Amino acid sequence: MKQNYRFVIAYDGTRFYGWEHQPNTDMTIQGKIEKVLSLMIGLPEDEKPVEVIGAGRTDAGVHARAMIANAFLDTPLSEVEIRDYMNRYLPDDICIKEVQIAGERFHSRYNALGKTYCYTCYVGDTKPVFDRKYVYTLEKKPDVTAMRKAAGYLMGEHDFASFCSNPRMKKSTVRNVDRIEIEEKGDYLTFTYHGTGFLQHMVRILTGTLLEVGFGMRTPGSMQELLEAKKRALAGATAPAQGLCMMKVDYH
């Protein structure tokens, strides 16, 4: 009898083409996990693999500390045995932190109430050798006070069309971002975002735009005009993928 299982997953996205299946490559997080689960329950290779549903679709090169996913499985293995099997056969840059039996109606994406992402920049004087795959190295330190002021205009419920990289977006681009925290921690600068959901590349575009404020290329008040314009071309550059990490997904 099939049961619905909930997974907490951490991964280093450096080598992967994002979470979601991509044509002509098996280097996706979703694909790797589905392959291992299909082997675990003994599915023949010519059958459709187990379907794993993720709470979000992180881009190529983006990391996660606690992606949530779910899948229906028919297996005699316990939750701990499933976790251990998956970690044995998944590559070393993907870790299943936890497996739990979930309610039949649990859906990792549709039931998600909010998500937290963290973007990390390095502003030190020397090279971040051991963190280079997980930070965006800046040539100089931006004005944090100006960026915090700009972030104030971006918080709340807005149409974030200017911060979406998908020009053919048919669904609503209105989102509620209730928290943007910009913190200095030694040689590191972190941008923490919490909201009900985020558009394609939205967190990276927000970060790139805030950094332009920090470097004096825009004024904090121009964020209001950007929101009203609803034009991606007017917003800032998309910050590189390696600095972004999904930190948490909220549920009841």
Domains, the chain, with CATH or none = 3-102 (3.30.70.580), 114-250 (3.30.70.660)
pLDDT for 180: 98
For 155, the enclosing helix (H) or strand (E) is: none
Q: What is the pLDDT of residues 180-233, one digit of tens each?
A: 999 999 999 999 999 999 999 999 999 999 999 999 999 999 999 999 999 999
List b or e across 86-111, with b for residues whose CB sees 16 or more CB atoms inside 10 angstroms: beeebeeebbbeebeebeeebebeeb
User: Is 59 an active-site residue?
Assistant: yes
Q: Are 195 and 175 in contact (CB under 8 A)?
A: yes
Cα radius of gyration (the chain): 19
Token pair for 237: 């550059």
Q: What is the pLDDT of residues 81-90, one digit of tens each?
A: 999 999 999 9
Strand partners, 182: 191
Q: Given 12, 26, 46, 59, which residue is catalytic? A: 59
Q: Are 38 and 50 in contact (CB under 8 A)?
A: yes
Task: Calculate mean pLDDT across residues 125-146.
Answer: 97
Q: Are 108 and 54 in contact (CB under 8 A)?
A: yes
Query: What residue ranges in 27-173 does DSSP mark as E strands?
Result: 53-54, 63-73, 94-102, 114-122, 136-137, 156-159
